[in-house]
Structure 1
Amino acid sequence: MKKTVLLLSILLTISCKNEKSGDISSAEKEEETRAQEIARAHGFENFKDVEEIKFTFNVKVGDSVRTSRSWHWKTSNDEIRLTEGDISRTYIKDDSIADDEKELDQKFINDSYWLLFPFQLVWSDAEISEEKKAEAPISKKEMRNITVSYPSEGGYTPGDSYEIFYEDDLILKEWIYKSADGSRKSPTTWEDYKDFNGLKIARSHKSPDGSFELFFSGIEVN
């Protein structure tokens, strides 16, 4: 896949689990980790009621939209359809993705992780650091902070990590993406939140100078 801008290469390591339950048992609630609390703050418990999600992933550089692709994800069986320009393709996301579907799968992982990253704190097997206080990269405000690190093997881009920043409401405000080799470090905002049937989704992510924006349109959660 040709990468027109840096952040389009952010393809996290672990695919969404086939079981996408939003349930957390009573016992688990008593001992919730910070990661689980962040997921819950974004509406994780309501995901179990979701049957399908539609969204369009857009990347804008300056005044020009460089990328726009639309997805229809049936969560019950992981049937996923991509519409990009005049072309539509459908595949089933499972443990045996065909070679000719891997590029499609990479795009979906990238785009859906941006859409629902807080839920990946529960779904994926990332290593989560202890919470601390740190200066957020864009606002320069002191916020709560954890680092999310992915395994060094497996997946499309192993070893990547994310520093996420949030306040007392546990809603993500900013993050820093770091490539495994340390050659790329990209901060963006998490903003323009809207509630979609109980899922709190940030519709806009901007670079510090505002010249880059990754944003979502056409979001439907049914």
Structure 2
Amino acid sequence: MKKPLLIILCLTLFLASCKTDKKQKVADLKMDLSILDKVANAHGFDQFRNVKEIAFTFNVDRPNSHSERSWVWNTITNDIRSINKGDTISYNRSNMDSTAMKINGGFINDKYWLMAPFNLAWDKNNITYDHESDVPAPISKNPMQKLTIVYGNEGGYTPGDAYDFYFGSDYMIKEWVFRKSNQPEPSVTTTWENYVDINGLKIAEMHKNEDGSFKLYFTNIKVTSKNP
């Protein structure tokens, strides 16, 4: 009787050890993530692999003016459909003529506003970054973490640009600053608010400057999964 009990005890201890090792490995993996990955994952970057298509309308309101343009992006084939002022143009990002290149500049800009946290992971080989833990945010003045990224001077549509991201312990962006060509003065400063969770992607629908005279926001957001 003693021998079977000893075997059962050994198996129990072995299984418990395996579970502990697995939890430790997951914990170690989380600790090894860079600040870029932590911010990206907080916004659902790890779910992007399940996405087939993203559609959205990019809106900008300024005093006495409103502009908008819509996009449909097939993330698998990189086919883009642009809908702007009643005109629809389709192209593939792997084969662009001069017209498509010009339109694609708008797509890159609008997609960046929509998914900037994901670009922290996508662009990590083309940026340098600095992370501070307790810095007053530019609009709310609340103490937050600050992540500054600077793009390389070659390639892309706006080489050398810098962005300051402000976020709390949950790594969700609350405010940011865009600084063209890494100049000290802000070019644009806005909030990140009205977050929605669409198929695991956490997207800020609204961005406003301090006095609310500038609003950049998204409508008609649709995320199609590969396996709906």
TM-score class normalised by the smaller sequence: 0.7 to 0.9
Stretch moving more, 197-206 or 85-94: 85-94
Q: Deviations over 1:17-60 (max 9, x none)?
A: xxxxxxxxx78545100110111100111100000000000000
What TM-score, normalized to structure 2? 0.81
- Matched residue pairs, number? 196
Q: Residue type matched to 1:118 in 2?
A: P
Alignment of 1:150-161 (within 5 A): 150-161=151-162
Structure with the greater relative contact order (CA < 8 A, sep ≥ 6): 1 or 2? 1
Q: Which has the higher helix share?
A: 2
* d(CA) in 2 for partners of 1:171, 1:181: 23
Superposed displacement of residue 112, structure 1:
0.2
* d(CA) in 2 for partners of 1:204, 1:122: 22
Q: Radius of gyration: which is bigger?
A: 2
Q: Deviations over 1:86-108 (max 9, x none)?
A: 100011112x5322211111000
Say whether residues 1:86 and 2:86 are aligned partners: yes
- Unmatched segments (≥5 aa) in structure 1: 1-25
Q: Deviations over 1:57-114 (max 9, x none)?
A: 000013531x1001000111000000001100011112x5322211111000000000
Superposed displacement of residue 184, structure 1:
5.1
Percent same amino acid at aligned positions? 41
**Structure 1 residues 28, 120: closer, same or farther in 2, change over 3 A?**
farther
* d(CA) in 2 for partners of 1:92, 1:139: 41
* d(CA) in 2 for partners of 1:145, 1:56: 29
What TM-score, normalized to structure 1? 0.83
Say whether residues 1:114 and 2:116 are aligned partners: no
**Structure 1 residues 30, 166: closer, same or farther in 2, change over 3 A?**
closer
Stretch moving more, 96-105 or 69-78: 96-105
The runs of 4+ residues in structure 1 deviating greater than 6 Å are none
- Unmatched segments (≥5 aa) in structure 2: 1-25
* d(CA) in 2 for partners of 1:81, 1:219: 14
Stretch moving more, 84-93 or 176-185: 176-185
